[in-house]
Every structure is written in structure tokens, then in C-alpha cells.
Amino acid sequence: MGWFSLGAILIALSAAALVLLQLYRRGMLTPVGRTSLDDLTARIARFTEIRVPPGDGPFPVVILLHGCGGVRPNMATFAQLASEAGAMAVIPDSNSLRGIGYDEALQTVCTGAKLRAHERAGDLHAVLEFLRQDKRADSSRIVLAGWSHGGWTALEAMALDRAGNRPASLEEVPPNGLDGVQAVFTLYPYNGYPARSRRLPWPSDIPVESLLVRGDTVCDDAESVAVFNRQIKWGADVKWRYVDGATHAFDEPDHHPTSTLVFDPERAEVAYSAFKDFLKRRLRLDQGSAD
């Protein structure tokens, strides 16, 4: 290697280091601190909306994991669908928990600079923990539904749980793991680098169903299919279907004014139908409460 090439490499490394330093100073690369499961459970409970259906409980549960922008209007729509079907809808707000507003989330969480899924997976375990203590919830019948970053979070939690690894936000491995989780439903999930699902298998007893956007320019659908096929080879139960002619987050009606993403009410109905069918089958809603 000549001196010129070596000098160019050193200059490039120095420039990259300066960029990383600036990002760090702006708080964009600061990792989430580790805490105890009890502490995170107490904190996330204050930032979680729960919708309980009419009637006598305990009710089966669906945990709705929002996308990178935080809790958006589509979460209320899916929560209403769940409630009408007889399920308790639980919506934890991981962004508000950390004081991250919508505009900041678009610049940091959505770019992967802050709150990656291996950190946010701790929030999911904290929600599961307080649901196990909630008499309104049937903690033996829980499903997860995740949108984009939320789908990444659900799948990341499965990979970490199967490997016996703790989420990056927790001091310890959650003692009850994903006990009670019956299935996972994801909409246009992220499966690119550094998702652990690319190299760690999921539990074989938690089926995964997914809706993908063909030609997704935000969360590459081809990467998801590659991960799904790899997981099937490793023994996972995975099924997916495509939504054509839509953009990422096609079911979200209130995108940022500068966004190129488009709400599509017709294709949103496809997502609503798939979600209701998933709940009915995986939570056995037509069979009533388990004896």
C-alpha cells in the first residue's frame, strides 16, 4: 500500500470519527441505559394505553408496538378493532417514555441512531410483566403486533429470548421470557442490519405472520423474505403475504408533511382484515376464555 493510499484512508477514518463525535454530542448515539425489570415495568406502565373490551374478563391481549415515529393515529384504529373483537389492546409508547417527540423520532429513531430494537425489547418484557399482574388480562393468551420498528422489536425480542440474551435496556435476562405469547403479527417490519433475526433463530413455538409491502423503500421486503426463509430452515413457523401498489406505512393516515409515504385507505382495509383474522385465530376469540 502506498503512502498516498494510506493517507487517504487515515483522512477518511478521521472524518468518520468526527461525524460520530458530533452525533454523540447531539445525543444521537447515546445508548439506552440498563435498568432492572421492576424499574422499567413501573415506568413503561405510565406510558401505556390500555383499552378493555366490554364484558367480563380476563381478556386475551394484543400488544401493539408502534413504528419508529411513535404512537400514531393508526394505533387507535387497530386498538378499536381489537376491542371490538373481544381482545384487550395494550399500546406502550416507547418514545414518550424517553422524552422523544415525533420530529426527533424521525431524525433519530427512524434512522437507527437512537433506540434500536435490542434496547426497545426491554419495554416489551416490562409490558408483559405488568400484564401478568393485571387481573383484567389473560396472560396465557397474548399476541404481539408490530409496525415497522415495532415489528423489528417483536422479532428482536424473540431472537434474544431464544438465545437466552438480555435486551440492552435490562440488567438481567427477563425470568419469564415470552411466556404467554402465542403468536406475532408484523406489518412491513425492519429486518436489515443489525437485526439479530439475521443470525439468531426464533422460538419454534411462536408463529409469525407478516404483511409486507412489495418494493418497500423504507424496510426492504427482500431482506424480510430472506430472514423469513432462513428462520423457516431453523425451525420457525413463518407465513407472509404481500400488499402491492402501496408505500411503507400505507395504513397510517397522518404522515409528516415532508414524507413521501402515502396513506391508502383501500389497502389499509387489507391490513385491518388480516389483523382481525390473526386475532380470531391466534387468540381463539370464537371459543371464549380458556378454562
pLDDT band of residue 33 (cuts 50, 70, 90) is confident
The answer to whether residue 85 sits within a structural domain is yes
| Distance (Å) of CA 9 to CA 18, 23, 171 | 14, 21, 38
In this structure, the number of other CB atoms found within 10 A of the CB of residue 164 comes to: 8
- pLDDT for residue 100 is more than 80: yes
pLDDT band of residue 25 (cuts 50, 70, 90) is very low
Give tens-digit pLDDT for 150-192.
999 999 999 999 999 999 999 999 999 999 999 999 999 999 9
The answer to whether residue 15 sits within a structural domain is no
The answer to whether residue 214 sits within a structural domain is yes
The CA-based diameter of the chain, rounded to the nearest angstrom, is: 76
Q: Which residues contact 53 (CB under 8 A, 6 or more apart)?
A: 59, 82, 83, 84, 85, 86, 87, 88
- Grid cell locating 12: 477518511
What number is the average pLDDT over the span 141-148? 98
Q: Of 4-13, 17-26, 33-42, 79-88, where does mean pLDDT reach its minimum?
A: 17-26
- CATH code for position 246: 3.40.50.1820
| Distance (Å) of CA 248 to CA 9, 117, 175, 256 | 37, 19, 35, 13
- Encoded amino acid at 109, one letter: V
- pLDDT for residue 102 is more than 70: yes
The answer to whether residue 180 sits within a structural domain is yes
- pLDDT for residue 22 is more than 90: no
Give tens-digit pLDDT for 240-256.
999 999 999 999 999 99
Residues pairing with 143 in the sheet: 62, 183
pLDDT band of residue 95 (cuts 50, 70, 90) is very high
Number of domains in the chain: 1
The answer to whether residue 95 sits within a structural domain is yes
Range of the domain at 73: 32-283
The answer to whether residue 147 sits within a structural domain is yes
Question: Using CA atoms, how far apart are residues 129 and 123, in angstroms rounded to an integer?
Answer: 10
Buried b (16+ CB within 10 A) or exposed e, 203-233: beebbbbbbbbeebebbbbebbbebbebbee
Arithmetic mean of pLDDT over the chain: 91
Question: Using CA atoms, how far apart are residues 255 and 247, in angstroms rounded to an integer?
Answer: 12
What is the pLDDT, as a whole number, of residue 6? 55
The answer to whether residue 288 sits within a structural domain is no
| Distance (Å) of CA 31 to CA 113, 170, 193 | 9, 12, 17
pLDDT band of residue 15 (cuts 50, 70, 90) is very low
Give tens-digit pLDDT for 187-237.
999 999 999 999 999 999 999 999 999 999 999 999 999 999 999 999 999
What number is the average pLDDT over the span 36-59? 96
- pLDDT for residue 128 is more than 50: yes
What is the pLDDT, as a whole number, of residue 9? 56
pLDDT band of residue 10 (cuts 50, 70, 90) is low
Give tens-digit pLDDT for 257-288.
999 999 999 999 999 999 999 999 999 997 65
Report whether 233 contacts 243 (CB < 8 A): no
Q: Which residues contact 65 (CB under 8 A, 6 or more apart)?
A: 92, 94, 124, 144, 145, 146, 147, 149, 150, 151, 153, 154
The answer to whether residue 49 sits within a structural domain is yes
